[in-house]
Amino acid sequence: MALSVAILFGGLVATYVLHTIWQWRRLSHVPGPFYAGFSKLWMFKEAMLSRLPTAFEEMGKKYGSLVRVGPNELITDDPDVLRRMMAARSPYTRGPWYEAFRVDPTKDNVITLREDSAHAARRAQILPGYSGKENLSMEGSIETQIARLIELIETKYLSSKGDYCPMDWGVKAQYFTLDVIGDLAWGQPMGFLEQDADVFDYIKITTASATAMMVIATYPTLTRLLQSRFLRTLLPKETDKIGFGALIGVTKDVVAKRFKPDAPDHHDMLSSFIRHGLNQEEASSETLLQIVAGSDTSASTIRAVMLHLLSNPRVYNKLQTEIDQAIEMGNISSPVKEAEGRRLPYLQAVIKEGLRIMPPASGAFFKVVPPEGDTIDGKFIPGGTQIGSNVMAIHRSRKIYGPDAEIYRPERWFEAEGEQLARMNSTVDLIFHYGKFQCPGKGVAWMEFNKVFVEGLWVIDNFWVRVTRRNEEQLR
């Protein structure tokens, strides 16, 4: 008996060792941290330290354009490769990495659907809602929330010579984006700005769990285990009174009311989803995704742009001058329209630099190499390999953006021309992904950016600012 157990154990150990050696050899021609070829401990360590995107960038500088970061995981900083991977007819598919982002563990959404035909069908159902074609009040909804943000600042956080009222802009920016997406998604904000409070501690709890999400995404098997019916009770649930679970409960309640026979007609994204065939569970899952993904990423960009504006007086003054001149010439309405914001060239450069210098979604977004394999950076990559995006290396690339690519400098968008400018624009566009994987909320995000700076996932906290009225003399 003891001998049989020993033989079985020895066989299991030998199988594990042989599998590890085989897995190491199949990608051994791609450089990277040595022990990353044998286990995911390198990625696990960097995820636990909340520095995985920065670590990927460092590895790119050390090992080159294509880097091995796990036994079956590579990252690339080549925008052309990424566009080819994400093209409409690309044979690449989403990897297990995406499964960690089931905001409702019981149901897939447009991000976590990995099979191409199912993903394409879902995109076709939700895109009309995101485009604004069926929600004619989309721009007005954003304007309403901008007005509420300004009102909140003016009534509670306006400092003067004798009254100092510090404001955490990082928090208020997310209050704003959460209320915007709530208004767009189901026709009413969630009350973050009105209450000037973190409703059901959503921001506090999701911020605290950000590191855990990156760790879980590194281990898809762990994701499946946690989302299984045996351990699902450990995850946030709709009966929770606070945090993400409470948001799930609110969302499901709103969606359920829309599916009642006597439900009134609405002109928001949720109604568009329903008109295009989503059932109640699917509509709940997509609406929940809107709120989580749409609010966090937009808030990150708004914070990043504002941080760099406040820390670069030259840039701040130049943007202020462009806005003042546009007002004087009658080129800006009150509130500013998105089309008017798009016609302010320096504003566009300011936003693009903010997106580039601190990309709002900095995950690797691993895709699966098709069975026939592929050749990348002159190296054959076997089918089944996971290839992700080295986000920070791409958007701080000196080859693309110039020798000072790590510096926030909007002027680069005016100095570049021709092919170089086109390459810069197409690369910064990759922040919203490309082709069959392009973010459906890209238009909504740009509408927010083109409006909020005229009027008034990175975790940025303790972003305290002092807000004062501009001297009337400056406007003359």
Tens-digit pLDDT profile for residues 232-242 = 777 888 888 88
Beta-carbon count within 10 A of 107 CB: 15
What CATH number has the domain bearing residue 217? 1.10.630.10
Q: What is the mean pLDDT of residues 173-187?
A: 93
Q: Which of 107, 417, 88, 63 is nearest to 248 (CA)?
A: 107
What domain range includes position 60? Answer: 2-475
Distance CA 424, CA 429 (A): 9
Question: Residues 152-177: what's their mean pLDDT?
Answer: 91
Q: What is the pTM of this model?
A: 0.91
Asked whether residue 371 carries a pLDDT value surpassing 90, the answer given is yes
How high does pLDDT run on average in the chain?
A: 89
Region label for 402, one of left (φ > 0), alpha (ψ between -120 and 50) or beta (otherwise): left
Q: Looking at the chain, how many residues does it have?
A: 476
Region 99-124 average pLDDT: 90
Distance in angstroms (rounded) separating the CA atoms of residues 73 and 77: 14
**Once rounded to an integer, what is the mean pLDDT over residues 330-338?**
90
**Cβ(374)–Cβ(36) under 8 Å?**
no
Residue 102's contacts (CB-CB under 8 Å, 6 or more residues apart) are 108, 109, 112, 227
Query: Out of 110-119, 139-148, 238-247, 248-257, which region has the weakest mean confidence (pLDDT)?
Result: 238-247
Q: Give me the number of domains the chain comprises.
A: 1
**Residue 450: pLDDT band by 50, 70, 90 thresholds?**
very high
Nearest Cα to Cα of residue 373 among 384, 386, 388, 362? 384
DSSP β-ladder status, 66-68 and 379-381:
unpaired
Let me know: does 143 contact 335? Beta carbons within 8 Å. yes
- 70 pLDDT above the threshold of 80: yes
CA dihedral 292, 293, 296, 302 (to 10 degrees): -140
